[in-house]
Chains A and B, each alone.
Chain A
Amino acid sequence: MSLLEIKNLHASVEGIEILKGVNLTIEPGQVHSIMGPNGSGKSTLSRVIAGEETYEVTEGSVSLNGKDLLDMDPEARAREGIFLAFQYPVEIPGVSTKYFLRTAVNSIRAHRGLDELDAYGFLKLVKEKAAWVELDPALLDRPVNDGFSGGEKKRAEVFQMAMLEPTMCILDESDSGLDIDALRVVANGVNQQRSPERGFLVITHYQRLLEYIVPDVVHVLLDGQIVRSGGKELALELEAKGYSWIEQEVAAGA
């Protein structure tokens, strides 16, 4: 059974159709990347999978390990194993990151039939996973993302991903705004989490991230549809030629 299966997905926001029939299948252990110009629907796709209610799914299906995701609340999807590393993580003043994460970890553990982690077990896990992304543990006493720098936010997202141990990880432009060192750290954090069971969907504008997180498949999303898929060399080709080349080919084919 495929890990994530998206079939003919149509979604709109405020009556405007953004996704116009996306098909995508990710097998366990695979890393897929989605590239595409601004406004092509990349972030929309990630948010529709995660269940944000702003987007209305008008047609198609999304399933995780054969379970229909579209019928579930966003928190149920998260508990089933969907994780979205946000492009712009929100700040939650007043709520310490540790408290937030412990609530999250335990709600997901409860869903998996595991006991709650006690304070000791939780802190041990925090220490281990924070090291993966070289995150200063002192940050975790601060409110969620509150006053974090851009780089710290991105690292904190990958750290949260490591804490929650999802089966399907979606990274929405986790490289944007990062300098090369931070990019390497974030990519390293992701690579540590690659496993034969876990799938990744890496959304990015730039080939650069894919030098560090090497994808099995690269897709090009254009105007709400995947118009081309290929190996990691496709990313290099896009980097060299831009998107207009594909746009023209698609237009010619239509």
Chain B
Amino acid sequence: MPHDPNTTLDQWADQSDYKWGFVTDIDADTLPPGLDEDVIHIISARKGEPEWLLEWRLGAFAKWKEMAEPAWAHWPDRDWRPIDYQAISYFSAPKRDEDRPKSLDEVDPKLLETYEKLGIPLEERAALAGVAVDAVFDSVSVATTFRDTLAEAGVIFCSFSEAVQEHPDLVRKYLGKVVSRTDNFFAALNAAVFTDGSFVYIPKGVRCPMELSTYFRINQMNTGQFERTLIVADEGAYVSYLEGCTAPQRDENQLHAAVVELVALDDAEIKYSTIQNWYPGDENGVGGIYNFVTKRGLCAGHRSHISWTQVETGSAMTWKYPSCILKGDDSIGEFYSVALTNNHQQADTGTKMIHVGKRTRSNVVSKGISAGKGHNTYRGFVKILPGSDDSRNYTQCDSMLMGAECGAHTFPVIEVENRTAQVEHEASTTKIGEDQIFYCNQRGISSEDAVSMIVNGFCREVFAELPMEFAVEAKALLAVSLEDSVG
């Protein structure tokens, strides 16, 4: 039906054929399942978006309808049930406080035990467990302190929705410039229906005065399943951004299709670290999140530098290839990854390094750990374009297997169109053997400590890239994720 973007949501709901039972308190409501243009109109109207953004969404949606869900992934040992996109609700307001636990006493003790093991600071546990924040601690004051510090430096760090309102020119200039709205099936879906996410802008010559992490962890709960992040580092700027958290996050949404775009101008550097620990499903492979994410960075400027570091231990299925387009001369792209699959988890992850500019360099270190019946796939693409003189890539891809029922798979693709390029690919596969565990046991070390020691040793090059406190948490996370995986 034709739609006037100026119509308020209430009016729109009234004239629609649907009887949604909308009441005045729209904040607490959830759209019924289903996806069509009307839903996109509602999302956009609900967020008070400008016309161009609505058009942008609708364009993505039109294209998405013509696209097919990708089927190329390698999924041994898991029945792929196509996702019913009409069964998903595309707008879900945050839970009302009265529906949440009132205090930590009402939270599942097992969850709290895990937080304890991971060393999550006490004040963050409540927020992570979904306790109504105001009931526990004053997050507003924490957030305000951070905000003041950032504002002094001129850094913009806010929710995506807020950025659309407050910094529309910046958003419009960069949105979809790295991952176009029709880049792939899930990116198109995200473009059509994303509800929120984060926006970061670091002005010229500014070094962001803090890791954008703690703040993020407290404030980015419930951003929904279609999250969108845009980070722009202007000339000579630097930012280190941390997404996610080691604590197991509960979420009823099965599909997560986020998009992250990074833009680094001349001499800028962006360090993006992720710890992903979404619900992996139970030990029989029932349930769990599908994590289908598009992450890409554009080294637009000369001597710019983008570095992706990820520790992926959660989700039932992960498809994720944080990539770099090295457009500026002398730009650098890096990808450091640890992906761990246990029970029936499947992770298909890797990177693309596209060398466009001259003397560009990329470095890829991928560590896949498979335990139980888990499968890990490394998928890499290195391309050196004709104009990219004297460029270099080094890829190291290591797999570790625990037990006899897991798998590791590697699909590296290298395309070199310039004779001056140097491209190296190294791969190894190791197995944690019972003999190694026994050897450790014989020296008085428990099996759990032994596994944790061996796995951490295997991952040390990647952990070295994480901000310090997260490296510590990541180690604990791997140990917890592998509990009971050795007999």
Contacts and interface: CB of A to CB of B under 8 A. Distances in A.
- Same complex origin of A and B: yes
B441 A143 contact: no
Interface string A69-90: 0000111001100111010011
B457 A50 contact: no
A204 interface: no
Contact of A75 (B436, B441, B453, B458): B441
B441 A100 contact: no
B441 A74 contact: yes
Given A94-B454, A95-B457, A107 B438 contact: no
B457 A143 contact: yes
B457 A73 contact: no
A94 B447 CA distance: 17
A84 B454 CA distance: 21
Nearest to B458: A94
Contacts of A111: 444
B3 interface: no
Given A92-B454, A93-B458, A143-B457, A51 B439 contact: no
A75 B457 contact: no
A101 B440 CA distance: 10
A95 B451 CA distance: 11
Contacts of B430: 93
A101 to B, nearest CB: 8
A168 B448 CA distance: 25
B436 A84 contact: no
A166 to B, nearest CB: 9
A107 B444 contact: yes
B442 A84 contact: yes
A164 interface: yes
Given A92-B436, A94-B460, A107-B449, A164 B454 contact: no
Contacts of A83: 442
Contacts of A86: 439, 442
Interface in B376-390: none
B445 interface: yes
Interface string B425-451: 000001001111011111111110100
Size category, A interface: 20 to 34
Contacts of B456: 94
Given A52-B438, A103-B449, A160 B443 contact: yes
B293 to A, nearest CB: 28
Interface in A117-174: 143, 160, 164
Contacts of A78: 441-444
A104 interface: yes
A104 B433 contact: no
A89 B446 CA distance: 18
Contacts of B441: 51, 73-75, 78
B445 A107 contact: yes
A93 B457 contact: yes
A48 to B, nearest CB: 12
Contacts of A84: 442
A52 B436 CA distance: 12
A34 B446 CA distance: 29
Nearest to A75: B441
B445 A103 contact: yes
Contacts of B435: 90
Contacts of A108: 443-444
Nearest to A145: B439
Given A95-B454, A100-B453, A90 B444 contact: no
Contacts of A52: 438
Given A90-B435, A95-B453, A107-B449, A100 B458 contact: no
A79 B445 CA distance: 9
A95 B433 CA distance: 14
B59 to A, nearest CB: 48
A82 B435 CA distance: 17
A143 B430 CA distance: 14
A83 B457 CA distance: 24
Contacts of A89: 439
Interface string A34-49: 0000000000000000
Contact of A50 (B442, B447, B454, B460): B442
A78 B435 CA distance: 16
B366 to A, nearest CB: 15
B471 to A, nearest CB: 15
A75 B439 contact: no
A92 B444 contact: no
Of A74, A79, A108, most B-chain CB atoms within 10 Å: A74
B449 A92 contact: no
Interface string B175-219: 000000000000000000000000000000000000000000000
Nearest to B430: A93
A146 to B, nearest CB: 10
Interface in B25-70: none
Given A89-B439, A94-B458, A79 B453 contact: no
Contacts of B442: 50-51, 74-75, 78, 82-84, 86
B457 to A, nearest CB: 3
Of B436, B440, B460, most A-chain CB atoms within 10 Å: B440
A96 B457 CA distance: 8
A52 B456 CA distance: 24
Contact of B443 (A93, A143, A164): A164
B357 to A, nearest CB: 35
A72 B447 CA distance: 14
Nearest to B446: A75
Contacts of B449: 103, 107
| 9 A-B pairs with least C-beta separation | A94-B457, A74-B441, A104-B443, A95-B457, A78-B444, A108-B444, A107-B444, A75-B441, A94-B458
Given A73-B446, A78-B444, A164-B443, 20 more contacts: A52-B438, A74-B438, A74-B441, A74-B442, A75-B442, A75-B444, A89-B439, A92-B454, A94-B458, A95-B454, A96-B457, A99-B453, A99-B457, A100-B440, A100-B443, A103-B453, A107-B444, A107-B449, A111-B444, A160-B443
21 contacts: A54-B434, A74-B442, A75-B446, A78-B443, A78-B444, A79-B444, A83-B442, A90-B436, A93-B458, A94-B456, A96-B457, A101-B443, A103-B449, A103-B453, A104-B444, A107-B444, A107-B445, A107-B446, A108-B444, A111-B444, A143-B457
